Structure 1
Amino acid sequence: MKNIAVVILNFNGKHFLEKFLQNTLDNSPEAEVVVIDNASTDASAEYLKTAFPGVPLVLLDKNYGFAEGYNRGLATLTHDYFILLNSDVEVTRGWILPLLQVSLARRDVAAVQPKILDYHRRTHFEYAGAAGGFMDVLGYAFCRGRIFDEQEEDKGQYDTRSEIFWASGACFFVRAEVFRSLKGFDARFFAHMEEIDLCWRMHNQGYTVAYQPASVVYHVGGGTLPAENPFKTYLNFRNNLAMMFKNLPRKYLFPLLFVRLSLDGITGVRFLLQGSVRNLWAILKAHFVFYRWLPYLIGKRSKSFGGFKKLYAGSVVWAYFVKKKKTYTEICSK
């Protein structure tokens, strides 16, 4: 049996499976391609059984979201390596071996991300991951190649293999033993930020996360929830606070959380001024649920905090909006 599984979690993505699954099969000879279906209602399962009868299909009884959907599906597999792949990703020839080589070269590397380019603007980095993810001390995620909504053109400026803080869930290579030892994603997150939380926990345990530009994929993006969806706003704000509470050292926890909560309030006012009451309510709801989750989150607090020193020590919000620095290189240059 092949020891690598390319695992696609599907929820009502039949149109993406029709478009990209054969491409994944054609370009993944080193791996077994598996589909986990989150109780889709668009006949995805029936399509797979008919069009791809040789592709293993894990059927879940309801939509568990990205986090628990993957946890449940991956628990049925015995491979040594998983590559979690969004259904809206076009892979390229030879994309798997460079990812594996990074992991084989260094035992401390728990997860690896390829270069992720925009499917629609193929010369530009894609929003969800780009050339590897980072995070500042206030919990704001950014990428090499993408700061907030600013997506850089790929001119080879990030073609060096390097360590990163988080790898994108759009294409996430991970050692199965590490995934299992950390009990996978936090199922309460449902979707959004769960891969960043997992990577942070990896860092806390002494592992590293890597970026491999020799592997290239193209991501459509926004396939499940559009950018301005209030439910996405709710998930991002709720999960971000939960992730910070779980992983920040005690010394910095409350000061940084206070600043972050205040900045969330400013964002809420901005939404109100824009007439986006639903997004304002999404932030308020996220805060209410975060407070309700505190007993759970206290129990999930990390026992070690090695990941903290790998955060960007400044504020990416200040650098981007006040100092007008629009690229990773401008923000993180020494």
Structure 2
Amino acid sequence: MKPSVAVVILNWNGKRLLEKFLPSVVKTNYPNLQVVVGDNCSDDDSVAFVKTNYPMVKVLRNNRNYGFAEGYNKILAQVKADYYVLLNSDVEVPENWISPVIDLMESDRKIAAAQPKIKWQLDKTQYEYAGAAGGFLDKYAFPFCRGRIFDAVEVDTGQYDDVKEVFWASGAALFIKSEAWKAVGGLDADLFAHMEEIDLCWRLKNMGYKVMFCPDAEVYHVGGGSLNATNPFKTFLNFRNNLIIMQKNLPKNEVFQMIFIRFFIDLAALIHFLFKGETKFAWAVSKAHVDFFRRLKQSNRKRTAVQIPFHEHVGVLPSSIVYNYFIKKIKRFSHLTGSL
């Protein structure tokens, strides 16, 4: 029998998205599947919509909006399956999107997490910003994707159709073995949203697990379903959380130097926002740094027991993605030099 899989969609006031994308999920062709909608205390009628129209879908409700990270922690504590799939509510799926990923993960006990190819739902020839063909970090722990560097998103021509170990798998369609989820302690609730999947994957890798990209399955993501790119709060979360996950997961002899360098990179981003007249985003970067220091002791207590030297991880670019993109004008992952 195939391993049991639970596809879990976290919802908050997302009736419009559930109406559009839940039909494709319930048509999934997989023999040992349950579909769960975990509701983060919505005040629209999305829960009633699911219960009325999709009685085969299990609905679990949180007593308040816990955000993405803790919201999933609360819901998955109530779900039993061999594999969890954390699926965004704004993702369309084809019928056979689960089996290829599960088959890959079953082939190696060290594989804890994986993602399918993630393409843009509005133009399915393109990769999608949040995940593309797998996630990587540069030498200063700045995240980017195979198929997407900053705002340069590539058309999918089959250039990344190889099974590949990556640094992180996107939370838009994250497959994870339930035993690995429990071993690593789930998502970090203090991150609230954004980069929590990078933190999760980093902790898994520090435990000796692998994170993989599976090209034989693909899904179609709209993106920005909860917070779009024009929201300064998203900028705040991205900058703050990136610093927090570095503090938590880097070895002691690397963490101070890396964060010190990142402060200067972030300062350049702040100045860039100011020159563009985007003062709300500049202020968001500043607030991110203040909040990072405010949480320093709290985050320090969450440091993993073992930290592998950063450059020894698979999926780390041995140069700066900021320099490659803005100075060298490299827009495609395949044009990057160095071992990846």
Which interval holds the TM-score relative to the shorter structure?
over 0.9
Query: For the Cα contact (< 8 Å) 2:30–2:96, is it kept in 1?
Result: no
Deviation for aligned residue 1:54:
2.3
Tell me the residue number matched to 1:192. Answer: 194
Tell me the residue number matched to 1:237. Answer: 239
Distance (Å, rounded) in 1 between the aligned partners of 2:57 and 2:70 = 21
- Match of 2:329, SS state, is coil
Distance (Å, rounded) in 1 between the aligned partners of 2:42 and 2:282 = 30
Note the aligned Cα RMSD (angstroms). 1.3
Equivalent in 321, 330, 336 of residue 316 of structure 1:
321
Deviation for aligned residue 1:41:
1.9
Gaps of 5+ in 1: none
- Whichever residue aligns with residue 209 of structure 1, its letter is V
Deviation for aligned residue 1:139:
2.0
Tell me the residue number matched to 2:58. Answer: 56
Kindly report which structure 2 residues correspond to 1:91-130, keeping only aligned pairs within 5 A, or say none.
91-130=93-132
Query: For the Cα contact (< 8 Å) 2:7–2:34, is it kept in 1?
Result: yes
Distance (Å, rounded) in 2 between the aligned partners of 1:333 and 1:266 = 25
Deviation for aligned residue 1:260:
0.3
Does residue 131 (structure 1) correspond to residue 133 (structure 2)? The answer is yes
Kindly report which structure 2 residues correspond to 1:40-189, keeping only aligned pairs within 5 A, or say none.
40-189=42-191
Does 49-58 or 174-183 show the bigger shift?
49-58
Query: For the Cα contact (< 8 Å) 2:318–2:338, is it kept in 1?
Result: no
Does residue 11 (structure 1) correspond to residue 12 (structure 2)? The answer is yes
Query: For the Cα contact (< 8 Å) 1:204–1:307, is it kept in 2?
Result: no
Distance (Å, rounded) in 2 between the aligned partners of 1:314 and 1:301 = 25
Detail structure 1 runs of 4+ shifted over 3 Å in the superposition.
none
Tell me the residue number matched to 1:280. Answer: 282
Tell me the residue number matched to 1:227. Answer: 229
TM-score for both structures, normalised by structure 2:
0.96
Query: For the Cα contact (< 8 Å) 1:116–1:216, is it kept in 2?
Result: yes
Equivalent in 192, 199, 217 of residue 215 of structure 1:
217
CA shift digits 1:3-42 (9 cap, x unpaired): 2100000111111110111111112433100000111122
Distance (Å, rounded) in 2 between the aligned partners of 1:258 and 1:12 = 39
Distance (Å, rounded) in 2 between the aligned partners of 1:41 and 1:307 = 45
Query: For the Cα contact (< 8 Å) 2:30–2:99, is it kept in 1?
Result: no
Kindly report which structure 2 residues correspond to 1:257-296, keeping only aligned pairs within 5 A, or say none.
257-296=259-298
Query: For the Cα contact (< 8 Å) 2:133–2:160, is it kept in 1?
Result: yes
Deviation for aligned residue 1:303:
2.1
Query: For the Cα contact (< 8 Å) 1:83–1:171, is it kept in 2?
Result: yes
Deviation for aligned residue 1:328:
0.9
Tell me the residue number matched to 2:23. Answer: 22
- Whichever residue aligns with residue 234 of structure 2, its letter is K
Query: For the Cα contact (< 8 Å) 2:127–2:155, is it kept in 1?
Result: yes
Distance (Å, rounded) in 2 between the aligned partners of 1:145 and 1:196 = 17
Query: For the Cα contact (< 8 Å) 2:251–2:309, is it kept in 1?
Result: no
Deviation for aligned residue 1:53:
2.1
Gaps of 5+ in 2: none
- Match of 1:77, SS state, is coil
- Match of 1:117, SS state, is strand
Tell me the residue number matched to 1:325. Answer: 330
